[in-house]
Amino acid sequence: MPALNDAFDATTTTDDVMRGVSLAGQTALVTGASSGLGVETSRALAAAGAHVVMSARDAQKLDKARAEVVAQVPQAALDTLLMDLADTDSVRAAAGQALQDYPTIHLLINNAGVMACPLMRTAQGFELQFGTNHLGHFLFTCLLAPALLAGAPARIVNLSSAGHKFADVNFDDPNYRQRDYEKWQAYGESKTANALFTVGIDKRLKDSGVRAYAVHPGVIMTELSRHMDHADFETLSSRTPAGQELVFKSVEQGAATSVWAATAVELAEQGAIYLENCQIAQPAVQEGNSGVESYALDAAAAEQLWALSEQLVGQSFSF
């Protein structure tokens, strides 16, 4: 296994990661690109020469975000793609448009997400966090597989979270039809699903040169926290490992692990792994520790989730 960059840590920024990296001739697609980490990820990739497709559901916010990137990177090659991950019809339409316009994609950064929201449902009736964070990205990624295969070697980066520690996926009732809703548990289930999907998609595409990575970006004040109040931040603090404080990252630090996952040469022969602080995360050895829980990378659970996801979106995929 190639040695990792020991100089990279929680304070590493996107500019640190991308220094000396050229993405000329590559196409990258970033979801959730209308704010926060999505904008910074798009900026960093565009500054390295990639043709970046910025995707989000709000056209006005998306256009504003694109203008923000252009202001910082005047030479940026940027397109926009409207998609609502909480509506599988919108996901299918966006994927179809993307395949038509970008038959070759080298980097897919599944960055969009919702966190700790009240009980809400997607257009198809899925619990909003599971439906948006996992199912929307599951469907979109699988539909884009032909473009990713055409771009091989290509990479898929799925934003998970240390929130995966809050809960494993509930395969019996993923959409909270029979059980009481708890927003942090639901968030944790969706983030575990992001990691398990990483394992499932990497298994299916790795022999064709497409690798997948799950990323914990850290705790950053972005629009993702719009549903949170003081009590929610107290909850997060209470779940921080013993002896540690809840530390916030800047947006540039938060997006660093995403662009590292997308570009690091030392990860080229690896996949189905969970990354944090621009490093491969260690296994969590006890509850509350940093690192990744074993259930989030469990191969059998990944297959169970794949089958459930195909059932819920009403489409099977074979690559």
**pLDDT tens digits, 63-89:** 999 999 999 999 999 999 999 999 999
Distance CA 27, CA 265 (A): 17
**pLDDT tens digits, 272-294:** 999 999 999 999 976 556 899 99
181 is catalytic: no
What does the pLDDT average to over 148-166?
Answer: 98
pLDDT band at 6 (very low <50, low <70, confident <90, very high): confident
Per-residue confidence (pLDDT) for residue 224, from 0 to 100: 54
Q: Which residues pair with 224 in a beta bridge?
A: none
**pLDDT tens digits, 7-45:** 899 999 999 999 999 999 999 999 999 999 999 999 999
- Among the listed residues 102, 176, 187, 274, the single catalytic one is 187
Per-residue confidence (pLDDT) for residue 229, from 0 to 100: 59
Per-residue confidence (pLDDT) for residue 152, from 0 to 100: 98
Alpha carbon of residue 227 to chain centroid: 19
The amino acid sitting at 240 is: T
What pTM was computed for the model? 0.93
Every domain of the chain and the residues it spans: 14-312
pLDDT band at 221 (very low <50, low <70, confident <90, very high): confident
**pLDDT tens digits, 241-263:** 544 456 899 999 999 999 999 99
Query: Average pLDDT of the chain?
Result: 93
What does the pLDDT average to over 115-135?
Answer: 98
- Is pLDDT larger for residue 234 or for residue 194? 194
CATH topology of domain 14-312: Rossmann fold (3.40.50)
